[in-house]
Structure 1
Amino acid sequence: MPSADPRSLTFRSAVEADIPELVELVESAYRGDSSRGGWTTEADFLDGQRTDADDVARIVAHPEGMLLVVERAGEIVSCCHLEHRGDHVYFGMFAVRPGQQGGGLGKAVMAEAERRAREQWAAKEMRMTVINVREELIAFYVRRGYERTGEMSPFPYGDARFGIPLREDLAFELLVKPL
């Protein structure tokens, strides 16, 4: 597995030309058989798409946010969405190539995202929502300093833009980390 040494990584804001590759990256990390090559798959409880080009384009164009692109040797290996929302930054659409998960890359990306939230927007906290049944992923975030709030929001059943649920007990839990 390649080193997660932050010095081997390049961080930049996504541009329109990145959209097709970013859609492919996010889909490969979350859905379908390719996602099973990593530990962050949602394929056991969600089918269908995770995102599309229009969704990614909206994030890229948003004036109060960015889609942070992470490259190693010129290849996009990770991304995450950062959106300034007043006193906090929302963290989402976090994806690491399945074959490169588990080697520290995700930790390095999160550290850079948190640094940018503090320095670029003077954010006091980072917030994210995680599907409640993803206990292993929630535990990963807790180890990174995020706190479970117990605050749940409903999963948008019937809206295929979020995927096709394979079970009926899905909800989003809010996780928060003071910065």
Structure 2
Amino acid sequence: MDTSERTVQPTFRTATPADAPAVVALVESAYRGDASRAGWTTEADILEGQRTDPAGVVEVIEKPGSRLVLVERAGELIGCCHLERRGNHAYFGMFAVRPSAQGGGLGKTVLAEAERFAAEEWDVAQMQMTVITARVDLIAWYERRGYTRTGQTHPFPYGDERFGLPQRDDLEFELLVKDLATAATG
């Protein structure tokens, strides 16, 4: 993507089941295989196999209290994220930015829009997410955006190929949180 394309403002819309194949392609390109190495979000060194599949994406789209947000620029899908309302907080996941669009601030824009939506439309007090602890650079990126590590971890689902094929035996997720009320006023 050249610089002129980056100046076109992204648009946001809610995904439909028809978008599932494009979402799968985007998520896979951002996290798996050699193509993902063009960006900095790759998990190719720690996980092989799939990150998601069409049935899983449709399940997220159709789940009550869930919103899969698509990010487009000039009609092209360049990013996505999943929001799920869970009581007084929202869960943030399935965050992907096309590798060629990474590093230009789009991720910050998408995250800010997700936080705005959760706070204003759902009136939730906190955003939560889980990140693989081995992804130190990604955790640091979230910390620079106001997220706090909680120390609460849970194991990676070894043996469940829907989540990928681990290349190491020490994978676990950590819960990160951000107080949205403080973020809006501070």
TM-score, scaled to structure 2: 0.93
> Which residue of the partner structure matches residue 73 of structure 1?
74
Identity of aligned residues (%): 62
- Residue 60 of structure 1 aligns with which residue? 61
Gaps of 5+ in 1: none
1:120 Cα deviation after fit: 1.3
How far does the alpha carbon of each residue in 1:102-137 deviate from its partner, in whole angstroms, 9 at most, with x for none?
A: 100000000000000011110100000000000000
Give the direction of change, closer, same or farther, for the CA distance of 1:135–1:8 in structure 2 (3 Å limit).
Answer: same
- Is 2:56 the counterpart of 1:46? no
Does residue 1:152 correspond to 2:153, yes or no?
A: yes
Output the aligned Cα RMSD. 1.1
SS at match of 2:38: coil
Matches within 5 A, 1:84-103: 84-103=85-104
Where structure 2 has 5 or more consecutive residues not aligned to the other structure, the ranges are 181-186
Q: Name the residue aligned to 1:136.
A: 137
SS in 2 for 1:70: strand
2:20 and 2:6 mapped to 1: Cα distance? 24
* TM-score normalised by length of structure 1: 0.97
**Cα distance between partner residues in 2 of 1:86 and 1:16:** 25
- Which deviations, in whole Å up to 9, do the C-alpha atoms of 1:120-155 show, x marking residues without a partner? 110100000000000000000000000001110011
Q: How far, CA to CA, are the matches of 1:171 and 1:9 in structure 2?
A: 33
Tell me the distance in 1 between the aligned counterparts of 2:152 and 2:17: 34
Contact 1:4–1:108 (CA<8 Å) still a contact in 2?
no
- Partner secondary structure for residue 151 of structure 1: strand
Aligned pair count reads: 178
Q: Does 2:84 align with 1:83?
A: yes
Tell me the equivalent position of 2:24.
23
Distance 2:6 2:62 in 1: 29
Once the 2 structures are TM-superposed, how far is the Cα of residue 4 of structure 1 from its aligned partner? 5.4
Q: How does 1:2-21 map to 2 (within 5 A)?
A: 2=3, 8-21=9-22
SS at match of 1:36: helix
- Which amino acid is the alignment partner of residue 48 of structure 1? G
